[in-house]
Amino acid sequence: MTLHFNCSPLVLDEEQVLDYLHVLKSRSKTPSDSFFKHTVYGLRYLYRVYGLSEMRVVLPSIKRPNKLPVVLSRREVRLLLKTPKLLKHRLVLAMLYGCGLRCFELRNLQLKDLDFDRKMLHVRQGKGHKDRYVPLSAMQIRGLKKYMAAEHPNIWCFNGNHAEGKAVPLSTRGIQWVIREARKHSGIKKQVTTHSFRHSYATHLLEMGLDIISIKELLGHADIQTTLVYLHVAQLGRQRPFSPLDRLYTE
């Protein structure tokens, strides 16, 4: 903005600021949405520092892109879960999907968080520093017991590379590598991330009949509006949506 007007943004009036932002928004390729966002945030901060609160109200709000999550089919989940050669890597994927964990929640899992008797997992200090419990499946418990008997983890459920002889949790990069390799060798073309398993967990539970409030609690969402997005991707209702091509040649 300083280069555009050859002066400080502090001396510009409201109309000049809005004209500049309009120019940014109307450009087809550059700058990016990220540049526009940080320009607005930077102006808000500048005006707040200099006490120009009246300028802040004219700046546009930043709208989040209205994107729906990538959801894996049940067949794709089964394929991903059986693709890794190592049991540890299969369990990493099984915990992401079977418990709907965020990446950092998986990293922070400790042995003390596993309750095999009650078939529950204690997720400590999730997003918003909130604890929650989520169910463990019998399949997960069998796999975890086999893995623990073979690798003898001490503190963390999934150890990363040891640092100076000290056990450390599996890194975010390590988890991403497991997912990337599983996707590559499975032949799945969808973009698969740690959150894809969480999205699939919520969507599949909804399709299997679990109510939206229970899913909100399992995911650890603070606001039900965050959970409601899965209503847009789940195949629900008395009759599932279908393509007219499915019935075009049946009559």
| Secondary structure of residue 166 in the 3-state scheme | strand
Q: Which residue has the higher pLDDT, 20 or 241?
A: 20
* Torsions phi, psi for 105 (to 5 deg): -70, -40
pLDDT value of residue 144:
97
Burial class (CB in 10 A: 0-12, 13-18, 19+), 72: buried
Residue 183 lies in a domain: yes
pLDDT value of residue 105:
94
Residue 79 in this model has a pLDDT that exceeds 80:
yes
Q: Which two tokens stand for residue 237?
A: 């209702």
Residue 85 lies in a domain: yes
Residue 63 lies in a domain: no
- 148 shares its domain with 203: yes
CA distances from 13 to 6, 17, 19, 53 (A): 14, 6, 10, 13
Query: 198 an active-site residue?
Result: yes
Catalytic residue among 4, 78, 195, 232: 195
- Residue 114 sits in a domain whose CATH number is 1.10.443.10
- 168 shares its domain with 226: yes
Catalytic residue among 78, 118, 127, 142: 127
- 89 shares its domain with 47: no
Q: What is the mean pLDDT of residues 42-70?
A: 71
- 97 shares its domain with 204: yes
Count of the separate structural domains present in the chain: 2
- 225 shares its domain with 145: yes
- 79 shares its domain with 49: no
Residue 250 in this model has a pLDDT that exceeds 80:
no
Most confident of 20-34, 117-131, 152-166, 224-238: 117-131
Q: Determine the structural domain holding residue 6 and report its residue range.
A: 2-56
pLDDT > 70 fraction of the chain, expressed in percent and rounded: 83
Query: For the ranges 34-38, 74-78, 152-156, 186-190, which has the lowest average pLDDT?
Result: 34-38
Query: 64 an active-site residue?
Result: no
Query: 184 an active-site residue?
Result: no
Residue 8: which pLDDT band, with cuts at 50, 70 and 90? confident
Query: 216 an active-site residue?
Result: no
> For residue 114, what is the enclosing H or E element?
strand 114-115
- 129 shares its domain with 214: yes
Residue 192 lies in a domain: yes
pLDDT value of residue 81:
96
Catalytic residue among 198, 199, 204, 216: 198
Residue 141: which pLDDT band, with cuts at 50, 70 and 90? very high
Catalytic residue among 102, 107, 199, 204: 102
- 115 shares its domain with 225: yes
- 145 shares its domain with 37: no
pLDDT value of residue 121:
95
Residue 67 lies in a domain: no
- 110 shares its domain with 210: yes
Q: Using alpha carbons, select from 216, 214, 237, 233 the residue that is nearest to residue 225.
A: 216
- 94 shares its domain with 218: yes
Residue 68 in this model has a pLDDT that exceeds 80:
yes
- 103 shares its domain with 147: yes
pTM of the predicted protein model: 0.72
Residue 182 lies in a domain: yes
Residue 234 in this model has a pLDDT that exceeds 70:
yes
**Which residue, 26, 56, 86, sits at the end of a domain?**
56
